[in-house]
């Protein structure tokens, strides 16, 4: 506890030193007096957790302005690196062999240095170009220190403020702690990359680098090298509008189709190829939601896009987010949606919608859904990057086109099923049974003996078996 208090005090001192503690970034006049370099330097001094916060903010040009966000972009991949000597020590310790036995060539200068790791370009013994990611020395201890401080702070807030119970501060920190624990083991990141690549292998707008498992361990991750341009170098991109549309599409595919998504999509983790395909890197933080939650979120967005607020409220009720006793929740949804959806294209904001929805649901005793926090954060990041790429992009329209495409594909599947031999056979079974029943009646009338009734039953059962065989044949033909 004493260490947590000391750490918290040191954070306050840094914030005060750089004049950041009492600044409100929503106030334009104050915001314009703040230099981006000052914020960047303060976050660097505060450590990796705060750097990651700054990376997320680097996409929010709508809140912080261009001066600040441009400075924060350097937190994504241009932090001070650690020495090449340390790199060699870590790699050789992880694989119990010399670095020369693993790589034909290994660049001493990193191509990127971020909060928890840095990346070097290398060539394997079999001549493949790869990107080698190595964790920073003692990063686990640094994270552990700040997690303990956050746990202490969350506990204090929960005791002081009853309103904070809705936000579940202790559970939030525990969730964040678990995410950090997984992020600091690069084997988990490799597994995430592998799963994401399998999910999106047929998607034209995205590419996921292949994992080199033979050169991957707890502290080292080796991926296929991809030549691409960082997404924040907008002046080097061929078609910014197409890139923005591809980014929205791949986000929708991850979340609403696969239920597994990259949850750290700040500008430093996205690159673009010459044909506008998006390359994602850094798979340490991933989000996973169940199929029902995915459907609920998709239907809520669909409701807002189509301005069907009754549907939005209905989904909240079905999901259990809001109690059905609040009949006026429909009106609240309309109050959120109309001012936002009805604006000019460049002023329509998903981030604004989420913020308003988050505030309104508090009035209806809706607890914060922890599983949706990463999703909300990712949605805001994606929108922020799209606004930077193409300020007038209609995010709603792209999402609506994606929804319509999914519905068309589903309808085509249904039509295809209707035309299949299996479905046709099933549809013909009732008519077939009537015909078989009439045939059985005719045969029994011709027999005209004392066992007529029982014979009809046996014969009818026999004909049912024949119908079942026909049904099975239809299945195999299908």
- The two tokens of residue 54 are 């700054």
Residue 17: both structure tokens together: 């030193």
**473 to each of 182, 249, 368, 466, 467, how far by Cα in Å?**
50, 41, 52, 11, 10
Q: Tokens at residue 153, please?
A: 């702070």
Q: Clarify whether 264 is annotated catalytic.
A: yes
- Using one digit for the tens of pLDDT, what is the confidence trace for 184-194? 899 999 999 99
At 477 the pLDDT is 41
> Range with the lowest mean pLDDT among 148-152, 370-374, 399-403, 461-465?
461-465
| Residue 3 Cα distances to 9, 46, 57, 147, 355, angstroms | 10, 15, 28, 12, 35
Q: Distance (Å, rounded) from C-alpha 180 to C-alpha 136? A: 14
Res 396: pLDDT: 74
Strand partners, 271: 230, 279
- Which of 54 and 291 is assigned the larger pLDDT? 291
225: left (phi over 0), alpha (psi -120 to 50) or beta: beta
Average pLDDT of the segment spanning 67-89:
82
User: Which structure tokens are listed for 290?
Assistant: 């169940």
SS3 state of residue 47: coil
DSSP string, 4-49: HHHHHHHHHHHHHHTT-TT--TT-HHHHTTS-HHHHHHHHHHH-HH
CB 292 within 8 A of CB 371: no
Phi, psi of 28 (to 5 degrees): -60, -40
- Give the separation between CA 10 and CA 2, rounded to whole angstroms: 12
Question: What is the rounded CA–CA span in Å between residue 130 and residue 224?
Answer: 5
Question: What is the C-alpha separation between 132 and 209, in angstroms, rounded?
Answer: 12
Mean local confidence (pLDDT), 169-196:
85
Q: What are φ and ψ of residue 121, in 5° steps?
A: -90, 135
Tokens of 143: 């994270």
The predicted pLDDT at position 32 comes to 45
Encode pLDDT of 419-443 as tens digits: 555 555 555 656 656 665 666 666 6
Q: What angle do CA 51, 56, 62 make, to 5 degrees?
A: 130
Q: Which one of 146, 203, 212, 264 is the catalytic residue?
A: 264
Residue that has been written with the tokens 């084997």 in this structure: 187
Q: Are strands 278-280 and 206-207 parallel, antiparallel or unpaired?
A: parallel
Beta-strand relationship, 103-106 and 129-135: unpaired
Q: Using CA atoms in the order 25, 30, 33, 35, what is the torsion angle rounded to 10 degrees?
A: -20
Q: pLDDT band at residue 176, thresholds of 50, 70 and 90?
A: confident
**Planar angle of CA 57, 61, 64, nearest 5 degrees:** 70
What pLDDT digit, counting tens, does each position of 349-377 carry? 666 676 677 667 667 766 666 667 788 88
Beta-bridge partner residues of 103: 124
Name the nearest CA neighbour of 54 among 62, 64, 209, 31: 64
The closest alpha carbon to 199, from 288, 300, 293, 297, belongs to: 288
Give one DSSP letter per residue of 57-74, joined into a string. Answer: HTT-HHHHHHHHHHHHTH
Is residue 215 pLDDT above 90, yes or no? Answer: yes
**What whole-number distance in Å separates Cα of residue 166 and Cα of residue 172?**
11
What's the confidence (pLDDT) of residue 29? Answer: 44
Task: List all residues 6 or more positions away from 331 whose beta carbon is below 8 Å from its beta carbon.
Answer: none
CA dihedral 458, 460, 463, 467 (to 10 degrees): -130
Please give the C-alpha separations between residue 174 and each of 144, 177, 245, in angstroms, as whole numbers: 12, 5, 35
Please provide the DSSP assignment of 170-203 as one string: HHHHHHHHHHHHHHT-HHHHHHHHHHHHHHTTT-
270-272 and 278-280 as β-strands: parallel, antiparallel, unpaired? Answer: antiparallel
Residue 415, pLDDT > 60, answer no
The rounded radius of gyration (Å) of the Cα atoms in the chain is: 29
Phi, psi torsion values for 459, nearest 5 degrees: -65, -40
Give tens-digit pLDDT for 306-341: 888 899 888 888 888 787 777 788 888 888 888 766
């Amino acid at each position: 506890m004493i260490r947590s208090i000391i750490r918290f005090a040191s954070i306050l001192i840094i914030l005060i030193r750089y004049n950041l503690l009492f600044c409100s970034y929503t106030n334009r006049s104050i915001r314009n007096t703040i230099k981006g370099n000052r914020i960047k330097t303060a976050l660097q001094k505060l450590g990796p957790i705060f750097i990651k916060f700054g990376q997320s903010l680097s996409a929010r040009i709508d809140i912080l302005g261009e001066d600040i966000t441009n400075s924060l972009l350097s937190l994504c991949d241009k932090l001070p690196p650690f020495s090449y000597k340390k790199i060699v020590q870590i790699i050789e310790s992880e694989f119990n062999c010399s670095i020369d036995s693993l790589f034909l060539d290994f660049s001493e200068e990193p191509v990127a240095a971020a909060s928890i790791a840095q990346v070097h370009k290398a060539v394997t013994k079999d001549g493949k170009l790869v990107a080698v990611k190595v964790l920073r020395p003692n990063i686990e201890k640094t994270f552990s220190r700040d997690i303990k401080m956050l746990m202490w702070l969350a506990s204090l807030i929960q005791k002081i403020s009853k309103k904070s119970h809705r936000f579940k501060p202790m559970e939030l920190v525990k969730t964040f702690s678990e995410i950090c624990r997984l992020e600091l083991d690069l084997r988990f990141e490799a597994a995430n990359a592998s799963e994401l690549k399998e999910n999106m292998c047929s998607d034209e707008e995205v590419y996921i680098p292949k994992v080199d498992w033979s050169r991957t361990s707890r502290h080292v991750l080796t991926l296929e090298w991809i030549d691409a341009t960082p997404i924040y170098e907008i002046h080097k991109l061929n078609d910014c509008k197409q890139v923005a549309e591809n980014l929205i599409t791949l986000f929708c595919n991850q979340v609403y189709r696969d239920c597994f998504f990259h949850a750290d999509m700040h500008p430093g983790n996205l690159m673009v190829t010459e044909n506008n395909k998006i390359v994602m890197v850094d798979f340490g933080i991933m989000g996973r939601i169940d199929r029902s939650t995915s459907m609920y979120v998709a239907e809520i967005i669909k409701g807002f896009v189509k301005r069907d607020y009754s549907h939005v409220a209905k989904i909240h009720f079905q999901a259990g987010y809001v109690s059905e006793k609040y009949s006026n929740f429909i009106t609240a949804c309309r109050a959120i949606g109309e001012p936002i959806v009805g604006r000019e294209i460049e002023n329509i904001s998903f981030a604004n919608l989420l913020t308003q929805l988050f505030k309104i649901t508090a009035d209806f005793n809706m607890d914060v859904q922890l599983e949706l926090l990463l999703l909300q954060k990712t949605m805001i990041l994606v929108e922020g990057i799209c606004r930077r790429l193409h300020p007038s992009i209609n995010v709603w329209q792209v999402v609506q086109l994606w929804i319509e495409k999914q519905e068309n594909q589903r309808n085509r599947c249904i039509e295809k099923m209707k035309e299949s031999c299996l479905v046709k056979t099933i549809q013909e079974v009732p008519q077939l049974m009537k015909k078989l029943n009439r045939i059985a009646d005719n045969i029994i009338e011709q027999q005209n003996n004392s066992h007529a009734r029982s014979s009809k039953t046996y014969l009818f059962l026999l004909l049912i078996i024949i119908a079942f065989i026909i049904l099975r044949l239809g299945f195999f033909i299908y």
